[in-house]
């Protein structure tokens, strides 16, 4: 069955690739673009519609690509622009769309924009970042905190001013109130669209700052409760952020200018990652007409997982706001949170031997909801989170800051393994890899599982092929309210041609579908 009713991105299953950990082609222990190209057949045979590649731009790699030094060049560890063009052509020949991960809120302090801006108050890039004078007592201008720990303001002695950074001090926030900054990102969009890229995943758009001084302080979070989770241990979460620091209305000047570029090309897609005090309301703002096509939703990405009732609440809130549209993208896992099976096993009180059945259920659930969905590399293998990375081998700056009580994000970023009996699981022939190989993953190596008929890889591939034939999923983004027992999620997907009842049972870990 084919349909022209919806755009490709409104129902797309998008496979996320973390390039540093996908496939190493030159034996330096680090994944790269040519390595991705060699594994595209594996992805295409799964039956997904698109790939999203996390940042591979030139970068000092202090936050592994989310600190961009040059938005229009490839970091040498990952290859060259020619390597990217080869990857793009191979993906398109296999019917895969390609999405690139752009970081618009901040760049690296090694970006030439910031290197010039920090020199003085009167250079050509002087107001490309948020520079603010100190308070009379020398303190920062607001109480804003960095997500990675410490204040969100750092002192620059050359300008005798503070600059804003919502993450590392080496990731200065760009000043999107400046039209020249917006135009620079429009040029970045044109550069990649002209190469043939099909869309962008826009990182942390809620942290774009387009306001001008004086800035307001964040308010205290009245619902904050100290606890064992790393998020709750951070002072950052003692504040409400949408009141001042995040999700500022002025951000939409960026959304509108970036969309204006996308609309000059055929069938391009903009998906913004955002969070905040009220992410659903923020999503509605970001996807208003003339802005982003969709937002990447965090409702199912809770760090410690969600029980069945919490899943119902999270999905219900999202559906209530977006039913009948493709303006939402769901995910159970990504490069920033522990792997979904590990989180959800704990949240649901299940045993490790139930991991594969649970993972298949989660994959089917997210790809049956309205809108698009994003599957993180390794989820199609039911890989568990790596929990035994020694502190001295940790790479994630967030994890290092809060070690040893917090394992950080390295646990979901360990290299993919392809053959269980090969050195380093056939990820690399290097003596060591940038993060250690998780030895437990070798029993579910990707090519071994793809060759095993009863594997979760092949079961999910068969499901995606079936999904493409269902008008209720592919022809309309409409679904009923959620019902079911305390251990079930039940809803109908609805189109003019078909109504499909979808039942997900978290006790038996089974899924069933019925035309009604």
Domain edges within the chain: 8-101+179-212+254-472
Annotated active-site positions, please? 203, 273
φ, ψ at 468 (rounded to 5°): -65, -15
Instruction: Name the H helices within 367-407.
Output: 397-402
Half-sphere exposure of 481 (CA within 13 A, CB side): 2
Question: How many other CB atoms sit within 10 Å of the CB of residue 22?
Answer: 24
Strand bridging mode 131-132 / 50-53:
unpaired
Q: In the β-sheet with 488-494, what is the strand arrangement from edge to edge?
A: 488-494, 499-505, 510-515
Q: What pLDDT shows up at residue 232? A: 62
**Where does residue 296 rank: exposed (0-12), middle (13-18), buried (19+ CB within 10 A)?**
buried
d(CA 305, CA 323): 24
Half-sphere exposure of 207 (CA within 13 A, CB side): 24
Q: Is it true that the peptide bond before 214 is cis, omega within 30 degrees of 0?
A: yes
| Residue 503 and residue 403 in contact, taking contact as beta carbons nearer than 8 Å | no
Compute, in degrees rounded to 10, the torsion defined by CA atoms 476, 477, 478, 484: 120
| Residue 39 and residue 33 in contact, taking contact as beta carbons nearer than 8 Å | no
| Residue 248 and residue 207 in contact, taking contact as beta carbons nearer than 8 Å | no
Looking up tokens 């069955």 gives: 1
d(CA 94, CA 104): 30
* Residue 454, token pair as written in the block: 């009863």
Q: What is the pTM of this model?
A: 0.97
* Nearest one of 259, 112, 266 to 185, comparing CA atoms: 259
* Nearest one of 443, 413, 411 to 425, comparing CA atoms: 443
Q: What pLDDT shows up at residue 403? A: 87
With vertex at residue 329, the alpha carbon angle to CA 470 and CA 309, rounded to the nearest 5 degrees, is: 90
Helix (H) or strand (E) holding 230: helix 230-233
Helix (H) or strand (E) holding 357: helix 355-366
Helix (H) or strand (E) holding 201: strand 199-202
Per-residue pLDDT of the chain (516 residues; tens, 9 = 90+): 344 579 999 999 999 999 999 999 999 999 999 999 999 999 999 999 999 999 999 999 999 999 999 999 999 999 999 999 999 999 999 999 999 999 999 999 999 999 999 999 999 999 999 999 999 999 999 999 999 989 999 999 999 999 999 999 999 999 999 999 999 999 999 999 999 999 999 999 999 999 999 999 999 999 988 876 566 667 899 999 998 999 999 999 999 999 999 999 999 999 999 998 999 999 999 999 999 999 998 889 999 999 999 999 999 999 999 999 999 999 999 999 999 989 999 999 999 999 999 999 999 999 999 999 999 999 999 999 998 899 999 999 999 988 888 889 999 999 999 999 999 999 999 999 999 999 999 999 999 999 999 999 999 999 999 999 999 999 999 999 999 999 999 999 999 999 999 999 999 999 999 999
For domain 8-101+179-212+254-472, give the CATH number. 3.20.20.80
| Residue 61 and residue 67 in contact, taking contact as beta carbons nearer than 8 Å | yes
With vertex at residue 408, the alpha carbon angle to CA 304 and CA 445, rounded to the nearest 5 degrees, is: 85
């Amino acid at each position: 069955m084919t349909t022209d009713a919806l755009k490709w991105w409104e129902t797309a299953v998008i496979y996320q690739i973390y390039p540093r950990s996908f496939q190493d082609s030159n034996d330096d222990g680090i994944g790269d673009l040519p390595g991705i190209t060699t594994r595209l057949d594996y992805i295409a045979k799964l039956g997904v519609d698109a790939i999203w590649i996390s940042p591979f731009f030139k970068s000092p790699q202090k936050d592994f690509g989310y600190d961009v030094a040059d938005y229009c060049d490839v970091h040498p560890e990952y290859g060259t622009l020619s390597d990217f063009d080869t990857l793009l052509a191979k993906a398109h020949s296999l019917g895969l769309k390609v999405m690139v991960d752009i970081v618009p809120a901040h760049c690296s302090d090694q970006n030439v924009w910031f290197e010039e801006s920090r020199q003085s108050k009167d250079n050509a890039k002087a107001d490309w970042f948020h520079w603010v004078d100190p308070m009379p007592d020398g303190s920062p201008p607001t109480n804003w905190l960095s997500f990675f720990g410490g204040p969100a303001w750092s002192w620059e002695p050359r300008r005798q001013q503070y600059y804003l950074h919502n993450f590392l001090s080496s990731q200065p926030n760009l000043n999107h109130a400046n039209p020249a900054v917006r135009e620079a990102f429009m040029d970045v969009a044109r550069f990649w669209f002209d190469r043939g890229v099909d869309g962008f995943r826009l990182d942390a758009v809620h942290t774009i700052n387009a306001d001008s001084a004086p800035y307001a302080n964040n308010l205290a979070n009245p619902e904050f409760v100290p606890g064992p989770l790393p998020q709750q241990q951070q002072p950052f979460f003692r504040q409400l952020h949408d009141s001042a620091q995040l999700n500022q209305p002025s951000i939409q000047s960026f959304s509108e200018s970036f969309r204006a570029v996308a609309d000059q090309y055929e069938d391009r897609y903009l998906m913004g990652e955002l969070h905040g005090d009220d992410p659903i309301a923020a999503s509605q703002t970001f996807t208003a007409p003339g802005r982003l096509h969709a937002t990447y939703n965090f409702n199912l990405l809770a760090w410690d997982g969600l029980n069945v009732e919490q899943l119902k609440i999270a999905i219900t809130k999202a559906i209530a706001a977006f039913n009948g549209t493709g303006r939402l993208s769901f995910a159970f896992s990504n490069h920033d949170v522990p792997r979904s099976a590990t989180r959800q096993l704990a949240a649901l009180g299940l045993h490790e031997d139930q991991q594969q059945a649970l993972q298949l259920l989660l994959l089917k659930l997210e790809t049956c909801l309205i809108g698009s969905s994003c599957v993180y590399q390794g989820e199609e293998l039911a890989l568990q989170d790596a929990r035994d990375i020694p502190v001295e081998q940790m790479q994630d700056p967030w994890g290092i800051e809060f070690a040893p009580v917090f394992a950080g994000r390295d646990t979901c970023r360990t290299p993919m393994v392809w053959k269980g009996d090969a050195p380093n699981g056939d990820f690399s022939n290097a003596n060591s890899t940038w993060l250690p190989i998780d030895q437990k993953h070798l029993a579910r190596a990707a090519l071994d599982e793809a060759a095993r008929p009863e594997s979760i890889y092949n079961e999910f591939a068969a499901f995606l092929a079936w999904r493409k034939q269902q008008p209720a999923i592919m022809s309309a983004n409409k679904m009923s309210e959620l019902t079911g027992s305390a251990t079930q999620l039940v809803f109908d997907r609805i189109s003019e041609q078909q109504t499909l009842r979808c039942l997900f049972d978290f006790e038996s870990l089974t899924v069933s579908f019925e035309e009604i």
